[in-house]
Amino acid sequence: MNKICVIGNEVHATQNIIPSMRELNIDIDAIASEYLNNQNEFDGIKCYSDYKEMLEKEQPNIVLVCKTAENQYRIAKDCLNFGIQKLFVEKPMGMNSIEAKELQELAESKNCQVMVGFMKKFSPCYLKMKEIMSSSEFGRVKQFNAEFYITSGRVGWNNEIFLKKGGIHFVNLLLWLFGEVEEVKSFSSSVDNNVSLTSIIKFKNGIVGNINFVGLTSWKGKRERITITGENGYVYNDGVKEVHYHLDQNITRSNRWQTLDEEEITIKPYLTSASGGVQDLYLHGYIGEIKSFIEGNRFIKDNVATMELIDLILDSLNDL
């Protein structure tokens, strides 16, 4: 029988991770956070102010870590050394590729199943896009254009911190969609925490494209989009709630401009008045990632690859 504990009760844990576990009927035995002050319960869950005390007393075999990025390397290392069987760590697990590799090697030596919280590849939107781009009708993928825009104002969020705390999901998503990277060139007009960064990326399979990372006050609302072009079609998304695609029909007759035979298909979620806020947990991929983790899937290696690509982006800026 599984015994499951959570480390962290900040916003992401309480709004996304814990509600996703409850939607999946996953019981949480205890939660630990320095903000809980040894209360008897937090939202119906037994709680501790010290995660090490919780590990010792509860002896869990499954732990989910959802703390600030800078603290997760240390906490993950403690959990691995404690002998946890399954460990979920919110991104990033390590603040650079060196820390990420160290934790991967430790996890392998402890035979621990580790998954890092990159949820976008579990979003129905991106799953559908990958399905479309992988079809024979779409043809070979040739090019992409990606955008990730959020507001600025976060203290210390320069290019490096923006990539490692904000843009990291999109970095991971590109690797999942397109494979291994061959070359990166980046350009930036960022000033302090006002981020404006563009990277041109060539993948080993020949796919080329660019990604724009923006953190400016003009973008109060988040925007994320990827347009993927193949030999015989294209597909793009509007956030996580719409996918648009076109597959060439190979129509050769003249005067097509006189007709209505060019199709672009739009896919949307089915909405009802009973959809509720939990729908966002499905569409953003949170429920999918937690379900995959509990089922025993491992995604620790893509954490290293993600941090390595971030290092490449930052190094290419320094080469200018």
Residue 320: per-residue pLDDT: 54
125 shares its domain with 253? yes
Q: Is the pTM of this model over 0.85?
A: yes
Residue 36: per-residue pLDDT: 85
Q: Which of 90, 117, 144 is a domain's end point?
A: 117
Structure-block tokens of residue 200 = 């041109």
Residues of the chain with pLDDT under 70: 153, 319-320
148 shares its domain with 261? yes
79 shares its domain with 131? no
Residue 153: per-residue pLDDT: 67
Establish if 287 belongs to a structural domain.
no
113 shares its domain with 129? no
Q: Residues 6 or more apart from 110 whose CB is under 8 A from it? A: 80, 81, 83
15 shares its domain with 81? yes
Establish if 132 belongs to a structural domain.
yes
151 shares its domain with 32? no
111 shares its domain with 129? no
104 shares its domain with 125? no
Domain carrying residue 271:
121-276+301-318
150 shares its domain with 266? yes
Residue 301: per-residue pLDDT: 82
Residue 271: per-residue pLDDT: 80
Establish if 55 belongs to a structural domain.
yes
82 shares its domain with 151? no
Compute φ and ψ for 130, nearest 5 degrees: -65, -40
Cα-Cα-Cα-Cα torsion 311, 287, 214, 191, nearest 10 degrees, comes to -60
Residue 105: per-residue pLDDT: 95
198 shares its domain with 220? yes
Q: Distance between CA atoms of 83 and 59, rounded to whole angstroms?
A: 9
Report how far apart, in Å, the C-alpha atoms of 150 and of each of 199, 219, 222, 234, 286 are: 17, 5, 5, 25, 20
Domain count, the chain: 2
The per-residue pLDDT for range 172-199, each reduced to its tens digit, is 999 999 999 999 999 999 998 899 999 9
